Structure 1
Amino acid sequence: MISILELRHIIECGFLPLSCICTSNPDGSLMIKVFEPSSDHVELLVTGVKTENLTSSRAIADLISELHGEMRVMKTKYASGMGVQGSWQ
Structure 2
Amino acid sequence: MVSISELCRIVESGFQPLSCQCTLNPDGSLRIKVYDPATGRIDLLITGVSPAHLNSVREISNLIGELRIEMRAGRRAFAG
Distance (Å, rounded) in 2 between the aligned partners of 1:35 and 1:65: 16
Q: Distance in 2 between matches of 1:64 and 1:51?
A: 13
Structure with greater helix share of residues: 2
Is 1:76 the counterpart of 2:59? The answer is no
**Who is 1:62 aligned against?**
62
- 1:42-66 per-residue CA deviation (whole Å, 9 max, x = no partner) reads 0000000000000011110110000
1:24 counterpart = 2:24 = yes
Shift of 1:27: 1.4
Q: Which amino acid in the other structure matches residue 11 of structure 2?
A: I
Superposition misfits of 4+ residues, deviation over 2 angstroms: none
User: For structure 1, which runs of at least 5 residues remain unmatched after alignment?
Assistant: 81-89
1:45 equivalent to 2:45? Answer yes
Q: Percent sequence identity over matched residues?
A: 52
State the structure with bigger RCO (CA 8 A, min sep 6), 1 or 2: 2
Query: Could you tell me how far 1:28 is from its partner in structure 2?
Result: 1.1
Match of 1:15 in 2: 15
Unaligned runs of 5+ in 2: none
- The aligned amino acid for 1:73 is A
